[in-house]
Structure formats: C-alpha cells, structure tokens
C-alpha cells in the first residue's frame, strides 16, 4: 500500500503524549481527513475509541502500543514509519450492531467492534431469555450477564468470561454467559455470523440490566437485539509478523 500522508492521534496518557511529540518532531503529519492512514497511540481501549471516532472517514488505522495490553496494537517505534505502514497487513472486520430498548420504550443503536454485553445493575442476578433467529434457545438464564462477541473481540471480555477464542476468518460469533447460575451447565454457543440474537430481560424492574456496545452503555434495558452489520467495515493495520489472525491463533496456545 502506497502511503503519502499519515495522521497521528494519541490518548491522554503521558506515554502516549510523549510518543506523539516524538513522532511529530520527526515527520510532517496530516489531519485525519487528509491522511491515507491514521496512527493511534495508546492501548486497546484507545484503538477502539479511534475506530469509532473515525468510522465515517473509512481510513485504515495502525495502532502503536503506549498502553497496557496492546493486543490490537503494534510495537511502538518512531523510526521508518512510512516503510512500516507501506508493508502493513490489513485485517478487516464487521462490527456488531446493538439495538437496545429501555423501560421507557426508547431505543438506542450502537456499534461494537469487540462485543455487546449485558450486565446486572444491582445485587440481584439477571434473568434473560435468549432467542436466536426468533427461536427461543434459553428460556431463562440466571446470571450476572451475557455477551455476544466478534472474532476480533473473542480474546477480550469473552475470553475472561471463559468463552472460546474464535479465528478471525471463521464467520462465527460467540454467545457467552457471564457467571451463569441456571442453567448451571450451559457454557454458551457458537453462532453463524448472520445470526440474529435477541436478549429479553425478565423481571426487569426487580432485576435491572444494562447493555454495553464497546463503550456505549444503555441502562435499564428491556430487550436487546444484536446482529452483525456487513455494511460497516473496520480496518486494522498490523506489522506482517504480528497480524491479527496470527495473534488470535497464538492466544489458543498461550499457557
């Protein structure tokens, strides 16, 4: 990929701001709307924030880790940036689209690159009915919550909730319970990427639940619809030796 202009954005952390100063002292950078690539300096959370912020620009985003985990980021190095961008590998994914309806009948739509999660708001366990393609699959899940994850997000919250790691090219979604009490033996399901998942909150006044799409939260929901949106493309750039497909595969062999 030929790169003539790149932009740089950074989180507010001291490490990210120092990296921003280092890069801008070495290179002439463009505004995001005029750039071929946007470089994001920070951690995974900032990468997701940057992808959402510049979604309408349809620019590939190359992350350099100045945060904590950095699973979605490349190693930080201010040398040879143009060369690195030119040979970077592209990983394109489609996000999930969440439509959450609250107790007042108001609906909110948001995109999720990693996952859509439902979480109990109080000490009371949540009760959730799960339907897939309009067929009730779990009549009553008593739990702390549940989530629907993309392959890219399968190594994030999904993995922490003991969900499966999903190869990027598998066209599969993970439906994973969070601390399920009943049915006690249910560990979740793998679904085709075109599946329509509907989550209905039972006893919602007594057992309130919030819904989160990446970092967009809707509280006191009554129902949540989750589908993958093929009309939206998220474009990550990675160094050839550390592409996203390989990272997800490696996670399955990490002790």
DSSP 20: H
**Cα gap 98→213, rounded to integer Å:** 7
Contact 181, 125 (CB under 8 A): yes
What proportions of the chain, in percent to the nearest 5, are helix, strand and coil? 20, 40, 40
**Cα gap 85→69, rounded to integer Å:** 21
Burial of 131 (0-12, 13-18, 19+ CB in 10 A): middle
Residue 44 among the catalytic residues: yes
Classified as helix, coil or strand, 237 is strand
Classified as helix, coil or strand, 57 is helix
- 136: tokens are 């009730």
Q: How many CB atoms lie within 10 A of CB 206?
A: 9
- Would strands 37-42 and 61-65 be described as parallel, antiparallel, or unpaired? parallel
**Cα gap 213→114, rounded to integer Å:** 8
- Point out the catalytic residue in the list 36, 44, 133, 214: 44
Which residue's structure tokens are 């509280």? 219
Contact 119, 209 (CB under 8 A): yes
How many helices (H) and strands (E) would you count in the chain? 5, 17
**Catalytic center residues:** 44
């Amino acid at each position: 990929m030929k790169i003539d202009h790149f932009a740089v954005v950074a989180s507010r952390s001291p490490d990210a701001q120092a990296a921003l100063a280092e890069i801008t002292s070495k290179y002439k950078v463009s505004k995001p709307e005029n750039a071929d690539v946007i470089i994001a300096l920070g951690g995974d959370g900032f990468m997701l924030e940057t992808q959402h912020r510049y979604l309408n620009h349809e620019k590939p985003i190359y992350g350099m880790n100045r945060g904590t985990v950095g699973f979605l980021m490349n190693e930080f190095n201010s040398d040879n940036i143009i060369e690195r961008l030119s040979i970077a590998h592209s990983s394109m994914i489609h996000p999930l689209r969440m439509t959450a309806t609250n107790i007042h009948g108001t609906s909110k739509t948001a995109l999720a690159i990693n996952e859509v999660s439902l979480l109990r708001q109080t000490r009371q366990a949540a009760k959730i009915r799960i339907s897939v393609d309009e067929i009730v699959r779990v009549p009553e899940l008593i739990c702390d919550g549940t989530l629907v994850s993309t392959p890219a997000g399968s190594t994030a919250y999904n993995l922490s909730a003991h969900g499966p790691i999903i190869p990027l090219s598998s066209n599969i979604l993970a439906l994973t319970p969070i601390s399920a009490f009943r049915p006690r033996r249910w560990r979740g399901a793998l679904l085709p990427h075109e599946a329509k998942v509907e989550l209905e909150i039972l006893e919602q006044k007594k057992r309130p639940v919030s819904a989160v799409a990446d970092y967009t939260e809707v509280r006191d929901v009554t129902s949540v619809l989750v589908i993958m949106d093929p009309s939206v493309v998220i474009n990550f750039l990675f160094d050839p030796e550390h592409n996203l497909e390989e990272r997800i595969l490696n996670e399955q062999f990490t002790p």
